[in-house]
Amino acid sequence: MANFIASMTVQEMESGVRGLEDLRGQAIGVVAETTAASFLRSQPVTIQAYASFDAAVAALAQGEVQGIVRDYPEVQYFVARHPEFEAVGDRLTHEDYGIALAANNGALRETLDYALVVLQERGVLRSLDAKWFGSTPVEEAK
């Protein structure tokens, strides 16, 4: 499966920020009840939780928070379409994504597993990563 990677987004014009260490003691936005929120609990920052990514972005734009921590693919997609923001710093965590299925649906699981292997072997996943994120986070995270 694709790797989950949290990354930071800050307003480009105010940046000067190169990573989480530059935001010690600052307010950082996250979507509530996510692994990004869990990760930040162990960091020397003030967590500001929001109901959605859009709400966190609005808070960042208004200066209520100095950065946002979110899944790496989502951050890359977002900053590619919003040049007033940039992704900064190293990846903060590496986690796997999964697909939840009913326990009694083995046939669907086998079909999905097969399809994902075929997509990976044919380079389709790499092409999709490059198209949508400008890089290949699945391979880079290995």
Distance CA(23)–CA(43), nearest Å, equals 10
CATH code: domain of residue 52: 3.40.190.10
Evaluate whether residue 43 is within a structural domain: yes
65-122 confidence digits (pLDDT tens): 988 999 888 888 888 888 888 888 777 887 777 889 999 999 999 999 999 999 999 9
For residues 60 and 126, state if they share a domain.
Answer: no
CB 88 within 8 A of CB 15: yes
Evaluate whether residue 10 is within a structural domain: yes
For residues 119 and 68, state if they share a domain.
Answer: no
49-62 confidence digits (pLDDT tens): 999 999 999 998 89
How many domains, in total, are found in the chain?
Answer: 2
For residues 76 and 114, state if they share a domain.
Answer: no
For residues 111 and 89, state if they share a domain.
Answer: no
Retrieve residue 23's tokens. 């935001």
In this predicted structure, the answer to whether residue 139 has a pLDDT above a threshold of 70 is no
For residues 61 and 124, state if they share a domain.
Answer: no
Question: What is the value of pTM for the model shown?
Answer: 0.68
Give the range of the structural domain holding residue 81, as residue numbers without chain letter: 3-94
**Can you give the pLDDT at residue 13?**
44
For residues 75 and 37, state if they share a domain.
Answer: yes
For residues 8 and 78, state if they share a domain.
Answer: yes
CB 17 within 8 A of CB 10: yes
- Per-residue buried b or exposed e for 17-56, using 16+ beta carbons within 10 Å of the residue's own CB: beebebbeeebbbbbeebbbbebbeeeebebbbbeebeeb
Evaluate whether residue 101 is within a structural domain: no
